[in-house]
Amino acid sequence: MPPSQDKDTVSYDLIVLGSGIAGLAAAAAAQKDGKSVLVIDKGERLGGRISARQKGRLTFNHGAQFFTARGKKFATVLAEAKHAGNLKDWQISPNKIVQIGTPSMLNFPQFMALDIDIRQHIEITNISHLGSDIAFFSNTDLIAKGRQAIITAPAAQSALLLNDIYPKLAETAQLATYDPCWTVMLNLDKSIELSNESYDGAYPLRDEAAGIGFAVPEQIRFARGSLEQDIQTVALTIQASGAWSRQYLQEDPKFITMQLLGLWANLKGHSRPTVLSATTHRWLYAKVTDAADIDAPRQSNDGQLAIAGDWLSGPRVEQAFDSGLQAYQSLFKPR
């Protein structure tokens, strides 16, 4: 449904801040119910912490690594995305099959975002009441306004935005904590042998005690039969554990790259491979360690604004998804 107009700017039924999974879940539910909805996000691409980068012919999945569903609602969306060709199975250990985006993790948020009005590259710096609406500003520019709003930025960023307008919700956000995550994306030459043989039974490396949260040559995600054409060079993504990332949070990216590559090579029993190129990304708010108190308020007393995000329930994509749906229901379908 199109938003209603007034002399200054259109007014939406719902404005959602954040095009991560929490925001997309809320926006998709609103869209399905025929509401006018706009999503605003400061990032280059939608998806938030579900992300991928292209370096020449190589793709690095440098945010969330895979999806799992315990509840029916998220399982249903995963099944729909899989049916549409955006997800596939991936065996990450002898006993565990998970879902990954194909060709990259970004395909899942892109699937969820179909038909939703989204504006990327806009950082919201202030939220305030404007008449009976909630208005979103970037510095002094009015970006959009809506009768109701859902805020899904990570907790610290939500707290800053909500402090003046809804201080009780800002307090809820101040209770949540995260681990950071240093991630390195390496293009290595073929001095590490990734032959078909070594792929058999190859799983991502996870050794939290040694400092590695998750490390995977991206080619492992492909079907084994297609390896020959995929291994001209190796695209290795290494994510440090939370404790390691915290310890080295302020270090130089070059130091981080060499340390993590050294740890990885050591654990795999390789000599240190030649690095053709390297990029690092420091996620300051990666995985939730303490979610906000279950009894803390998640919706404003006037019923105009709700908060969502993994930090309200836990460290997985599914929990972000559920929180987005719950925020939408609390505003539009209160019990």
Ligand X SMILES: Cc1cc2nc3c(=O)[nH]c(=O)nc-3n(C[C@H](O)[C@H](O)[C@H](O)COP(=O)(O)OP(=O)(O)OC[C@H]3O[C@@H](n4cnc5c(N)ncnc54)[C@H](O)[C@@H]3O)c2cc1C
By CB under 6 A, tell whether 29 contacts ligand X: no
With binding defined as CB under 6 A, does residue 42 bind ligand X?
yes
| Number of residues engaging ligand X in binding (CB under 6 A) | 37
Tell me the C-alpha distance between 140 and 256, whole Å.
38
Place of tokens 């707290």: 159
242 scored as a contact of ligand X (CB under 6 A): no
Asked whether position 23 contacts ligand X by CB under 6 A, the answer is yes
Of 82, 63, 25, whose CA–CA distance to 315 is shortest? Answer: 63
Nearer to ligand X, 43 or 103 (CB): 43
Supply the minimum distance, in Å, between the C-beta of residue 183 and ligand X.
6
- Residue 157 binds ligand X, judged by CB under 6 A: yes
| Chain-centroid distance, C-alpha 280 | 17
Q: Rule CB under 6 A: is residue 313 a binding residue for ligand X?
A: no
Helix ranges (DSSP H) in 63-151? 72-83, 107-112
CB nearer to ligand X: give 82 or 270.
82
Mode of pairing for the β-strands spanning 58-60 and 53-55: antiparallel
The verdict on 19 binding ligand X (CB under 6 A) reads: yes
List, in sequence order, every beta strand (DSSP E) within the chain.
Answer: 11-17, 37-40, 53-55, 58-60, 87-93, 96-101, 117-119, 126-130, 133-138, 141-151, 177-188, 205-207, 212-217, 234-240, 275-290, 305-307
Is residue 211 close enough to count as binding ligand X by CB under 6 A?
Answer: no
d(CA 71, CA 25): 14
Judged by CB under 6 A, does residue 20 bind ligand X? yes
Residue 254 CA, distance from chain mean position: 25
116 belongs to the binding site for ligand X (CB under 6 A): no
Looking at the Cβ atoms of 37 and 64, the one nearer to ligand X is 64
Q: Which of 50, 135, 173, 307 binds ligand X (CB under 6 A)?
A: 50
Amino acid at site 46: L
Contact flag: residue 58 with ligand X (CB under 6 A): no
Rule CB under 6 A: choose which of 29, 30, 39, 64 binds ligand X.
64
Residues forming contacts to ligand X in the complex (CB under 6 A) are 17-23, 40-43, 48-50, 63-67, 123-124, 152-154, 157, 181, 183, 239, 283, 286-287, 309-310, 315-317, 320
